[in-house]
Amino acid sequence: AGSALNLLQRGRDAIKALTIAQRLAGELGDEPLGRAADYQLAVATRIAGNPRGAREMLEALLRRIESAKPPDQLLRLRVLITMGGCAQDLGEPQAATTYYQQALEWSSEIGDLARIAFIHQGLGNAYRALGDHDAAAGHYQKALASAELGKDLVGVLIMRNALAVIAADAGRIEAAYEHVARAIEIARVSGPAAYLAHCYATRAEVALKARDVPLARSSAEAAIAAVAERGADADRAVAGATLVLAELDLREGDTAKAERRMRDVAAIYKSLDAKAELGDVLMRLSRSAKRRGDVRAAERYATQAYTVTSGCPRGPATRSERSERRARWGGCGERAAPNPGQDPRGPETQSFCWRSAAVSTFRSSSSVVTAPRPPGTGLSAAATADTLSTSTSPTIP
């Protein structure tokens, strides 16, 4: 039951069922069943919005797998893939590439097309976050080819969404629309509601970049309306769509409404421990406050952004990284298997965040991505805000 709930992206409900399964496996002394239950519990923890806790659980599980005689090679592969997703969720793309590369090495011995697709998707997400879009596109194409070969509709939809983000980043708007249209078509009939929400959020960002205000607004509203169950993926989709609506409010001169939306998004990212994305939204608030002449608020938001992102390698997330994380069902983890004792083909629970978890389709080409400076280091915090890119949206994500 817990694994099925993971498949439906209902992480909080899954945790309850899997905790019971974990206890029963311990009472029975069934170590393989216990490891499977532990893995699914880590997946549920990640889906529920706690990637840090999930990674700690997976690290402990990996040590147990490696000490088993013989080690469970398939479970080790699944753990490495999901650890890569957790690293992406936490804004650590370099660590994610390490996990995914290790998984790719092990996958050659197993030959599972579905998991090979997840690995390439995860590598694509990580390289996007690192700024290497050519490498990202190459891995996304490999992931799409593997998903199509394996007739994995959900994998195809995830990769179409990711390729829409890449195309939009490159200014190929028509190609982006084509990719996301196909993703939406599949998401309407396959996969959790959070996936459809991410696709609508991606279309909203593409439309915003294309200056199609009606489509951007209707798509963002559709993304929010599509969310039926709360969870990390659903929350990221809502955050991305809400940022599009905030951007539209700013363009229409309704600063107060835009800032309310941004504060709502900041609360979502704070609950997800998404520090890079939270820092980005705080800097957007800082810029908005500065434009309306409230220097004190601008300084306060910029200082908060610095505090939040001081441990992040690249500071606040760019729009592109936010979208990447929203898409993070693509390559960020495993779609849960129907039950802890079985391993049907291809059930990795991926967060729609490649975006991992945020689609940066409307980032200015002149954006500078650096961590905000602390107060008193040359530029004022409010002035520093002008050097940072703004909006973010997914898990593209």
Q: Output the pLDDT for position 222.
A: 97
Upper half-sphere CA count for residue 109 (Cβ side, 13 Å):
9
Fold assignment, 2-385: 1.25.40
CB 206 within 8 A of CB 180: yes
Of 270, 281, 274, 215, the residue nearest 246 (C-alpha): 281
What is the pLDDT, as a whole number, of residue 4?
A: 73
Alpha carbon 130 to chain centroid, angstroms: 14
Q: What backbone phi and psi angles, to 5 degrees, belong to 354?
A: -75, 0
CB 315 within 8 A of CB 91: no
pLDDT class for 318, splitting at 50, 70, 90? very low
H or E element, residue 354: strand 354-358
Q: Which of 56-70, 154-168, 259-273, 330-344 has the lowest mean pLDDT?
A: 330-344
Question: Rounded to whole angstroms, what are the CA distances from 379 to 64, 120, 281, 290, 320?
Answer: 50, 40, 20, 14, 25
User: Which pLDDT score, from 0 to 100, does residue 9 have?
Assistant: 64
Evaluate if residue 115 carries a pLDDT over 70: yes
Collapsing DSSP states into helix, strand and coil, what is residue 172?
coil
**CB-facing half-sphere around the CA of 344: CA atoms within 13 A:** 11
Which pLDDT tens digit goes with each residue over 346-375?
Answer: 333 344 433 333 333 232 222 222 333 333
pTM over 0.75, yes/no: no
Q: CA triplet 360, 265, 180: central angle to 5 degrees?
A: 35
Q: Give the pLDDT band (50/70/90) at residue 14.
A: confident
Residue with tokens 């799409």: 144
pLDDT value, residue 190 = 82
Q: pLDDT per residue over 117-145, tens digit each?
A: 889 989 998 998 888 888 998 999 999 99
H helix runs in the chain, sequence order: 2-7, 11-28, 31-47, 51-67, 73-89, 93-110, 113-129, 133-149, 153-169, 173-187, 193-209, 213-226, 232-251, 255-271, 275-291, 295-309, 319-324, 381-385
Please tell me the predicted confidence (pLDDT) of residue 39: 92
pLDDT band at 6 (very low <50, low <70, confident <90, very high): low
User: So what's the pLDDT on residue 21?
Assistant: 81
Taking a C-beta distance cutoff of 8 angstroms, is the pair 5, 19 a contact? no
- Compute the mean pLDDT over every residue in the chain, rounded to the nearest whole number: 78
- In percent, how much of the chain has pLDDT > 90? 44
Neighbour-count burial of 157, counting CB atoms closer than 10 A to its CB (0-12 exposed, 13-18 middle, 19+ buried): buried
pLDDT digits (tens, 9 = 90+) for 196-248: 999 999 999 999 999 999 999 999 999 999 998 777 888 999 999 999 999 99
Q: What is the pLDDT of residue 302?
A: 95
pLDDT-above-70 percentage for the chain: 76
What's the CA gap between 265 and 190, in Å, rounded? Answer: 27
Where exactly are the structural domains of the chain? Answer: 2-385
